[in-house]
Amino acid sequence: MRNARSIRKRGYKHRIAIVDLDITSLLDVIVILLVFLLKSYNSSGVTINVPPGITLPKSESSNLNTTGVSVQVSPTTIWVDDKVIYDINKSANISIYDQDKRRIIPLYNELMKKKNMVNRLEKASPQAQKFTGVVNLMIDRTIKYNYIKKLLHTSAQAGYLKYKFVVMGAIQD
């Protein structure tokens, strides 16, 4: 008889008491994460890599970027879509200008390659993205205005008539 009782009551010894759980702190953490994610969400889908050596100017503009060819310019290097097309340290003795020093030859050639590639894709597939003629310019803030005019002239000559300047936005509280 004694053994029968101990077998019956064996499960009662090992049961854990139910603890009352307070989930308000967990909900606070979830709300904070949700607010952070909504605040830092970029709906344009355009990701921009800023190469080392470029310090973007600051602005309070809140316009979103559009897709297009990215041209990044530092005092010594020019990139097109993260590809180095001109480095002053490697080609210091070569003249890069033509048309009365208004057009930058390596930039013009690369932009024309990009434009021709988009036009070929457009002809090959009707669902392909159309040529927009938009160039996103990431220019170091130490670059002089005369050089920026040459960049704009070169882009226009290559068929990119719409310019978007990429700047560092102010941190909003």
Look at residue 16 in the predicted model and tell me its pLDDT.
66
Q: For residue 132, what is the domain's CATH number? A: 3.30.420
* Whether residue 66 is found in the same domain as residue 27: no
Determine the pLDDT at residue 173: 42
Domain presence at residue 52? no
Q: How many residues does the chain have?
A: 173
* β-strands 69-73, 77-80 pairing: antiparallel
Q: What is the pLDDT of residue 86?
A: 87
Say whether both 7 and 63 belong to one domain. no
> How far separated are the first and last CA of the chain, in Å rounded?
74
Flag whether 34 is in a domain: yes
Give the global pTM.
0.64
Claim to verify: residue 94 and residue 146 sit in the same structural domain:
yes
* Residue 172: predicted pLDDT: 47
Residues 66 and 150 reside in one and the same domain = yes
Q: Does some domain include residue 45?
A: no
In this structure, the number of other CB atoms found within 10 A of the CB of residue 135 comes to 25
In this structure, the answer to whether residues 158 and 107 fall within a common structural domain is yes
Q: Are residues 63 and 25 in the same domain?
A: no
- Token digits for 109? 């050639």
The tens-digit pLDDT sequence of the chain (173 residues) is 555 556 666 655 566 667 777 788 888 889 999 988 887 766 655 566 667 777 666 666 666 666 788 898 988 889 898 888 988 888 766 778 887 888 888 999 999 999 999 888 888 888 888 888 889 888 888 889 999 999 999 999 999 999 888 877 665 44
The reply to whether 71 and 153 lie within a common domain is yes
Domain that holds residue 113: 58-169
151 and 68 share one domain: yes
Whether 161 maps to a domain, the answer reads yes
Q: What confidence score (pLDDT) does residue 153 get?
A: 93
Give the model's pLDDT for residue 9.
Answer: 62
Overall number of domains in the chain: 2
- Residue 112's pLDDT is 93
